[in-house]
Structure 1
Amino acid sequence: MAGDRMSWARLLKWSLSYMGGARPSRDISEEERRWLAEAVERHMAEDVVGRLREIALLMRTPLSVLEAQGITPEDIEDLLAELQVHVESIDIANDLHSVGGLVPVIRYLRNTNARIRAKAADVVTTVVQNNPTSQQLVMEASGFEPLVSNFTSDPDLTARIKALGALCSLIRNNKPGVAAFCLANGYAGLRDALSSESARFQRKALSLTHYLLSESHSDCSVFAQLGFPRLMMRLVSSDDSGVREAALGGLLELAKDTTLGNRSLLAEQDRLRRLLWGRIQSIRMMAPEDLDAAREERQLVDSLWITCYHEPSTLHREGLVVLPGEESFEQPPDVAGRFFEPLRRAPLQRAPPSPDERLDPGNGIMGGIMLLLGPAPGNSE
């Protein structure tokens, strides 16, 4: 339906008739319903983009001018909070740069007010999260540098934590971002965050550390040289369950590395064994509801014990790793099982092998079981 066949005034009148409980004078067609939905969606999008332009104009205005007009730091915080809501849509987030709003947000990362710096980092986090286009735009607009600076040296702890959160979203699945983080000595910043007294800061730092280790095991040597194994061992005993789980996950990633990870842990193997044994004892004494909440910790402790000491932990033997009704830790879905099902059934459908067949290693059969070539799971080279 053409736009001039139903004016916005008629649309409003028709909508209000519904709001008042009255039925419309006639039933509208499916075409009219579709046009109405598209028109409302388009109008709302235009309103949001228009509001983005207004916010961008305000943010580009010099602070001295805003202050002369009675605009307070709290007003700017509110403006950034509103902006963060708008850019939760990926399309709107990508529009932020085109309307001139991205650069002012990045500029606010250097604001003298710590709360404004923190809120600007929140906006950046939302803009770049799972959004490669905006990740590139922020990198090109030099948004990486103030984030790293705030993360490593901001005097305000909240601003540091918020900057780290923005960096996590900015460099995830972003190879140029990861490379820039390494060159900016970001690993040293993560080490300092792990040494802080803030559980929230520690959790975010451990999350990024785990991601970097899982993405590139070649970096294990760097983390080991910077003392990350020792720091993560200390955090295994944290009072914060999230910190404990994240520290165990980081240690497990290091231990999985066959070139260095195990060796970096061997230097303090007795200490690690004592720490894990302490967690095992604590888990064994947990009430049922606490045991259920500690599911990930239980499974991480057992996985780390197996990786380092090549045997199941006491938790495994006592049935505390996977409780009844739970799935095994890191058990991938059997997406390929149906393709190999005929191969699994094949040995059962053939005639029993002769004694000579059972003794012949070259035929791939032993006792009616198909042998799959390759190293056993968990073996290191």
Structure 2
Amino acid sequence: MAQPDWKGLFEWSIQQQDHSTDPSTRRQITEEDRKWFMEAMQSQTEDVTKRLRGIKGALDDKDDSDAQVGEKLKLLDDLVEIVEHIDYAKDLTHIGGLPTLLGLLGSAHAPVRASAAEVVATCVQNHPPVQMHFLEGGVLPRLLQLFQDPDPTCRRKALLALSCLTRHNDEAMDAFRAEGAVDLLLMAARDSSDPRQQRKALQLLREVFRHRPADVRSAARAGLMPAIADGIASEDAGVREAALALLALLVQHPGVVQAVQADERLKELLKMNEQRLNNLDIEDLDAERDQLALTEHILEKLDGGGGPEPDLAAAAPDATVDGANPDTGGQAPDQAPAKPSEEQPVMMLGPP
């Protein structure tokens, strides 16, 4: 079959969607047009599937020479771009891509491990069937191992993949919790040497507590409040926002309010942050306006007032792969919002 005219296909589709054009001037779609379009789509699908098989075969090569490692990194970059399309992520599972990725997550080369984790994250984000395929195929233990990798990039990519795997997936989140999610995330949230990891850990902690509010009690015993305080004290604006967003969720519950009221360091940091933000000029404040709203809300809650948790960008979980559209909050446009858990016990921080 002749190579499809992709430029012509694009221009034709734009013309059909141009509502400013007089309908009488639009060319009617003929049976020949339909046939051409379907052949073009079929050709594209066949080409991509063939490319996926070729990439998988090359990645399965056990050669660990520097040249081969460099080639694998290029192929993994290509793979990330391909599986951003959810249909191709599913195709990768059909041709046995998961065992290949599991092997690469255990590579002796840190860049390969990190790139493989990014492919995992891209495959599973906003795609429940692929999330379940990867979960049932054993990806969680490999990601947890990578989350404790000595290489910081590997840790960040593992955290990203965990965020994407558990996003809107109760079964994956429960499995993550059962493997000590809270303790692992608290450790990462207190590691100020890597602000990006610290921010992502705080954001994922927030999702864990949304899923299972009762986990706050064990987290409090494991150092939750000091971790939040460290985040608010961070020099990194993203870390501060993530810590404040987490605390804004928690102070909706009386037990947490009491714990914060008893924590002099945390209260002082909140007041200092509010004062710092109020002293900024208008231009600088624009970049940190969400921080101010979160801080004011938390302080109002501590004083016995305040309304519901602010609905701000800072509070949104960072569970999208680099390059993905964050405007959907990590959720596919046609995906129904996650149903809240029926069991929503009040968060209590005292002894059981």
Question: TM-score per shorter chain, which class?
Answer: 0.7 to 0.9
Pairing partner for 2:291 from 294, 297, 305: 297
**Cα separation, 2, equivalents of 1:93 and 1:112:** 25
Unpaired runs of 5+ residues, structure 1, are: 1-6, 19-26, 313-327, 332-379
**Cα separation, 2, equivalents of 1:155 and 1:173:** 29
Equivalent position amino acid for 2:235 in 1: D
Report Cα offsets for 1:345-367 as digits up to 9, x if no partner: xxxxxxxxxxxxxxxxxxxxxxx
**Cα separation, 1, equivalents of 2:303 and 2:279:** 23
1:174 aligns with 2:155: no
Deviation at 1:92, TM superposition (A): 0.7
Conserved 8 A contact 2:185-2:201: yes
The two structures have a TM-score, normalised by structure 1, of 0.72
Trace 1:1-381 onto structure 2 (pairs within 5 A): 8=2, 30-63=30-63, 67=65, 71-151=67-147, 153-196=148-191, 197-258=193-254, 260-268=255-263, 270-311=264-305, 329-330=310-311
Equivalent position amino acid for 1:229 in 2: M
Rg (Cα) greater in structure: 1
Equivalent position amino acid for 1:330 in 2: D
Conserved 8 A contact 1:83-1:123: yes
CA RMSD after TM alignment: 2.7
Conserved 8 A contact 2:183-2:219: no
Report Cα offsets for 1:24-68 as digits up to 9, x if no partner: xxx99533223222221221111001111111222233336xx5x
Conserved 8 A contact 1:97-1:103: no
**Cα separation, 2, equivalents of 1:186 and 1:29:** 54
Conserved 8 A contact 2:58-2:72: no
Conserved 8 A contact 2:260-2:267: no
**Cα separation, 2, equivalents of 1:200 and 1:305:** 26
Conserved 8 A contact 1:255-1:304: yes
Deviation at 1:329, TM superposition (A): 4.1
**Cα separation, 1, equivalents of 2:103 and 2:259:** 42
**Cα separation, 1, equivalents of 2:29 and 2:233:** 65
Deviation at 1:88, TM superposition (A): 0.5
Equivalent position amino acid for 1:192 in 2: M
Report Cα offsets for 1:151-199 as digits up to 9, x if no partner: 0x21111101110110011111222211221221222211111121111
**Cα separation, 1, equivalents of 2:98 and 2:239:** 33
The two structures have a TM-score, normalised by structure 2, of 0.77
**Cα separation, 1, equivalents of 2:29 and 2:310:** 53
Deviation at 1:311, TM superposition (A): 4.3
Deviation at 1:105, TM superposition (A): 1.0
Greater relative contact order, per chain length (Cα 8 Å cut-off, separation 6+) = 2
Deviation at 1:285, TM superposition (A): 1.1
Equivalent position amino acid for 1:296 in 2: D
Equivalent position amino acid for 1:170 in 2: L
Cα distance change, pair 191–121 in 1 and its aligned pair in 2 (3 A): same
Conserved 8 A contact 1:235-1:244: yes
Conserved 8 A contact 2:247-2:298: yes
Equivalent position amino acid for 1:305 in 2: L
Report Cα offsets for 1:245-277 as digits up to 9, x if no partner: 11011112222123x322332331x32322111
Equivalent position amino acid for 2:284 in 1: D
**Cα separation, 2, equivalents of 1:251 and 1:56:** 44
Identity percentage of aligned residues: 31
**Cα separation, 1, equivalents of 2:134 and 2:46:** 24
**Cα separation, 2, equivalents of 1:122 and 1:29:** 41
**Cα separation, 2, equivalents of 1:256 and 1:294:** 22
Deviation at 1:204, TM superposition (A): 0.6
Aligned partner of residue 36 in structure 1, secondary structure: helix
**Cα separation, 2, equivalents of 1:297 and 1:114:** 35
**Number of aligned residue pairs:** 295
Unpaired runs of 5+ residues, structure 2, are: 12-26, 313-346, 348-352
Aligned partner of residue 251 in structure 2, secondary structure: helix
Aligned partner of residue 217 in structure 1, secondary structure: coil
